[in-house]
Amino acid sequence: MSDRPREPFVVVGQSVRKVDGVGLVKGNPKFVADTDLSGALHVRILGSPHAHARILRMDVSAAEQIPGVVLILTHENTPPTRHTTAGQGYPEPSPYDARMFDTKVRFVGDRVAAVAAETEEAADEALRAIHVTYEELPAVLSIDDARAEGAPVIHDEKDSTGIYEAGRNIVADVDIDVGDVERGFAESDVVVETTCETQYAQHAPIETHVVHSYLDSDDRLVLRTSTQVPFHVRRIVAQTLGIPIRRIRVIKPRVGGGFGAKQEVLLEDIAGWITLKTGRPAFLSLSRAEEFVAARTRHPMRVRVKLGAKRDGVLHSIEMEATSNTGAYGAHGLTVLANTGSKTLPLYNKAQNARFYGQAVYTNLPVPGAYRGYGATQGYFPLETAMDELAERLGLDPVELRRRNHIRVGETSPIFEKLGEGREGVSQTVKSCELERCIAIGAERIGWREKRGTRRREGAWVHGVGMSIMMQGSGIPQIDMAAATIKMNEDGSFNLLVGATDIGTGSDTILAQIAAEVLGVPASRMIVTSSDTDLTPFDVGAYASSTTYVSGMAVQRAAEKVREQILSVAVPVLKAPAEGLRLVDEHVVGPGGARVSLAQVCQRAMYSSDQFQIAATASCVPSESPPPFLANFAEVAVDVETGVVKVVHYVAAVDCGVAINPLMAEGQMEGAIVNGIGYALSEEMLLSSTGRVRNPSLFDYKIPGALDVPDLDVILVGSYEPTGPMGAKSVGEIGINGPIPTIANAIYDAVGIRLRKTPFAPERVLAALQGEKVRKGER
Interaction site with other proteins (CB under 8 A) = 15, 17-18, 20-22, 24-31, 33-34, 203-208, 254-257, 259, 287-288, 503-506, 663-664, 666-667, 669-675, 697-699, 703-707, 709, 712, 714
Nearer to other proteins, 594 or 712 (CB): 712
Q: How far apart are CA 581 and CA 579, in angstroms?
A: 6
Least Å from the CB of residue 693 to other proteins: 15
Question: Nearer Cβ to other proteins, position 473 or 676?
Answer: 676
Q: What distance, in Å, lies between the first and last C-alpha atoms of the chain?
A: 55
* Letter string b/e over residues 683-716, b meaning 16 or more CB atoms within 10 A of that residue's CB: bbbebeeebbbebbeeeebbbbeeeeebebbbbb
**To the nearest whole angstrom, how small is the minimum distance from the Cβ of residue 715 to other proteins?**
13
Give the C-alpha distances (Å, rounded to integers) separating 586 from 486, 510, 511, 637: 16, 19, 18, 54
Q: How many CB atoms lie within 10 A of CB 624?
A: 22
Shortest Cβ distance from residue 633 to other proteins (Å)?
Answer: 16
Taking residue 7's Cβ as centre, other Cβ atoms within 10 Å add up to 8
Task: Provide the minimum distance between the beta carbon of 765 and other proteins in the complex, in angstroms, as a whole number.
Answer: 23
Give the nearest distance from C-beta 201 to other proteins in angstroms: 12
- 204 vs 438 by CB, closer to other proteins: 204
Looking at the Cβ atoms of 29 and 580, the one nearer to other proteins is 29
DSSP letters, 604-664, are IIIIISS----EEEEEE--S--PPPEEEEEEEEEEETTT--EEEEEEEEEEE-BS-SSHHH
Q: What minimum distance in Å lies between the beta carbon of 488 and other proteins? A: 27
Minimum Å gap between C-beta 673 and other proteins is 6
- Residue whose CB is less far from other proteins, 72 or 637: 637
Report CA dihedral (733, 734, 740, 741) to the nearest 10 degrees.
Answer: 160
- Give just the sign of the alpha carbon dihedral 764, 769, 775, 778: negative
CB 432 within 8 A of CB 657: yes
CA gap 618, 622 in Å, rounded: 13
**124: exposed, middle or buried (C-beta count within 10 Å: 0-12, 13-18, 19+)?**
middle
Least Cβ distance, residue 35 to other proteins (angstroms)? 8
Among residues 509 and 565, whose Cβ is nearest to other proteins? 509
Composition of the chain by helix, strand, coil, percent to 5: 30, 25, 45
Nearest to other proteins of 171, 470 (CB atom): 470
Give the nearer residue to other proteins in terms of CB position, either 462 or 736. Answer: 736
Name the minimum Å distance from CB 487 to other proteins: 27
| DSSP 8-state secondary structure symbol assigned to residue 380 | H
Beta-carbon contacts of residue 721 (< 8 Å; ≥ 6 apart): 431, 432, 474, 549, 626, 657, 658, 727, 728, 729
Q: Give the shortest CB-698-to-other proteins separation in angstroms.
A: 4
Which residues, in sequence order, are bridge partners of residue 465?
635
Cα angle: 693, vertex 363, 194; to 5 degrees? 95
Buried b (16+ CB within 10 A) or exposed e, 637-667: bbbbeebbbebbbbbbbbbbbbbbbbebbbb
CB of 256 to other proteins, least distance (A): 3
CB atoms within 10 A of CB 149: 5
Q: What distance in Å separates the CA atoms of residue 658 and residue 716, rounded to the nearest whole number?
A: 9
- What is the distance between the alpha carbons of residues 211 and 264, in angstroms, rounded to a whole number? 13
Nearer Cβ to other proteins, position 506 or 643? 506
Nearer residue to other proteins within complex by CB, 714 or 768: 714
Residue 504 CB, nearest approach to other proteins (Å): 2
Distance CA 725, CA 626 (A): 12
Q: Which is nearer to other proteins, 215 or 712 (CB)?
A: 712
Q: What angle do CA 295, 233, 483 make, to 5 degrees?
A: 125
Nearer to other proteins, 21 or 80 (CB): 21
For other proteins, give the closer residue by CB, 67 or 705. Answer: 705
E-only strand ranges, 563-610: 582-584, 587-589, 595-597
CA 254/CA 142 separation, integer angstroms? 37
Q: How far is the CB of 731 from other proteins (least distance, A)?
A: 13
